[in-house]
Each structure stands twice: as C-alpha cells, then as structure tokens.
Chains A and B, each alone.
Chain A
Amino acid sequence: MLPGHSWRAPSTGAGRIWIDAVVASAPNVELLWWEGCPNWKDALGMLRDGMRSVGLDPDTIDVREISTDADAEREEFVGSPTIRVNGRDVQPPGDDPAGLTCRVYRLRDGRISPLPDPQDLRETLSKAIEGGGE
C-alpha cells in the first residue's frame, strides 16, 4: 500500500498503530467554493475522482463555502473553485487578489477552463502523498 492511503483501519493491535500513522500523513485536501460560479459541484466530483485514483479517501475533503468578501480575504480565496492540498493551490494563482469571483484555469492543452486540469490535480495529490506537496 502506498503511503498516505487511509482506506483500511484495523480496529486493534499493532496494525492499528501503523494505520494511524499512515492516516496522519494523508494530505489535507480543501475545496473552497462560491455560489456565483456554477461549477463547484463539478470540481468536487473531479476532486473526489482524483483522490480515489491515488488511493485517498474522498470523504476527507474539507469543503467550505466562501460567501463574503471578508471570508475571501481571510481564506486568501482568489476565486471559485479553489483546491488546495496541504495548503498548496493546485494551480498557484500568482498575484490574483482575494475576492468573490470565478477562477480561470489553463488546461495542459492550452484551453481556458473554469476547472483545473485533472492531471494537475492528480499530480498535486500524488506529490503530497510522497511528501512533496508542502
């Protein structure tokens, strides 16, 4: 089993200790969304698929709505959807200001998209599992 997997949890014994250590190393995955963009559920579906594809539990995603400018400032939210793995943005936004808006992503084939490239997402998740996502 790869490090970071959390899909099996023995209830007792030495295995429990080992699994707890593995779960503790699972990356913190966040999805921040704003209702003004119509695609956050698509983003959540993509993120869940991405987590499953690298062996992570999609039920651990921390999904948070950003509904005010103050929320956006506090969370350094530069648009919906924002996906962070161990605090690292899937596609770092550069100097975009915080605010209630929609993210503009660039796919690997050059197209503009309201969602990140699924391959970027999987790569970020994989790096986090390997300890390179910080």
Chain B
Amino acid sequence: MAEASATKVGSPAPPLELPDTEGTVHTLPKPGEVPATVVVWTCNHCPYALAWHDRLVDLAHDYAPNGVRFLAVNSNDAERYPRDSLEAMRDRVRAEGWPFPYLYDETQQAAHDWAAQVTPHVYVLDGELRVRYEGAPDSDHMDPSQNAAWLREALDAVLAGDEPARPATDPIGCSIKWKP
C-alpha cells in the first residue's frame, strides 16, 4: 500500500509544463478555462497501469463532451526502464491512438512536485485547479466492469459543483522508477 500523498486534496495543483510524445508542450489549463482536469501518472511497463489503461481511455472519451481536460504523465527513469523511453511512449500513442497527450517528465520534477507515487496515480482538479480527488481509478485493477468508478464519481461531483464523496483513495500500482 502506498503512503499518503503530499499533494493534498483541496490544495492548489502544483505546476505542470511538459512536452508530449510529439514535442508539443502542455500545461494545466488556466483557471476557469475548463470545468475539470484529470492528471494521471502512468507508464508503459507496469501491469497495473496497463490493466487500468482502457478504462481511462473510455473515461476520457466519455467526459470530453463535458470539456474535461485529460493529461497522462510518465516520469519513470527511461535509462533503467527502456520501455518507458520517449520513443516507446510515442510508439504506443501512435499505435493505440491515445485520446489525450502522454507527457514525458524526463527530469522527474513533475512527479516530485505532485508527490506522485505509483502508476497509475490519478488526480482530479476542479475548474480553479484545486485538487479534488487523488488516488486509484477504482477499487480493482483486475475488474474492467469497475470502469474507473471512483474517478467518474469524483468527476461527476466536480462537474456538478459538489465535493467528491470520496476525495482520496490509496493509489495502487508500481512505484515511480526514480533516477539514482
């Protein structure tokens, strides 16, 4: 079980400015620009991240009409884990047609700033960029019928202007692969 995150629910989201797999730099939206943003730390080699991936893709498609922004970040040390290299990330995005940018955190600064611990580790921000949910997508990586229920629940609450009933859960997955 992962330890509690340092990115507290209710606090402003740390900054995020990273290139995607084609080199385009992405940042968080400006306050008030979109009603909600999902930021998920993920990677290419972790079975938990892979098991949850399709559910996150479905969620991104489902909430796009609501104006929800979705950003995926990979902070793993690509030298020791070549399957998480920028090239491998790009190959995957192109082959699978990801509906959201896959950002490359080469310095791992973003993971440090956000206190991301594992892949996947998801955050939901409200329109004013305050963290309203952080944790796992749902309760069981092995059960696709869970359909990222915790994340959907949090997004629905934020879009309705309410507080998520379950603002934080324990993120479950592979540890971020820090550089030595």
Give the B-binding residues of A (Cβ under 8 A): 36-38, 69, 97, 99-105, 111-114
Tell me if B142 and A101 are in contact (CB < 8 A).
no
Binds A, one of B29-37, B98-106, B149-157, B171-179: B171-179
In Å, the complex CA distance between A103 and B174 comes to 10
B residues sitting closer than 8 Å to A (CB atoms) are 1-2, 45-48, 50-51, 80-82, 118, 141-142, 144, 172-175, 177
In contact, A104 and B175 (Cβ under 8 angstroms): no
| A105 close to B174 (CB less than 8 A) | no
Q: Is the interface of B mostly helix, strand, loop or mixed?
A: loop
The reply to whether B47 and A99 form a contact with Cβ atoms under 8 Å apart is no
Q: Could you tell me if A37 and B174 are in contact, using CB atoms closer than 8 angstroms?
A: yes
Known: A36-B175, A37-B174, A38-B1. A99 touches B48 (CB 8 A): no
Contact of B174 among A36, A97, A99 (CB under 8 A): A36
Which A residues touch B144, using CB under 8 A? 111
A99 in contact with B50 (CB, 8 Å): no
- Pick from A69, A100, A101, A111: contact of B51, CB below 8 A: A111
Known contacts: A36-B175, A99-B81. The answer to whether A104 contacts B45 by CB under 8 A is: yes
User: Can you list 8 residue pairs at the A/B interface with Cβ under 8 Å?
Assistant: A37-B174, A100-B80, A102-B47, A104-B45, A105-B47, A111-B142, A113-B51, A114-B51
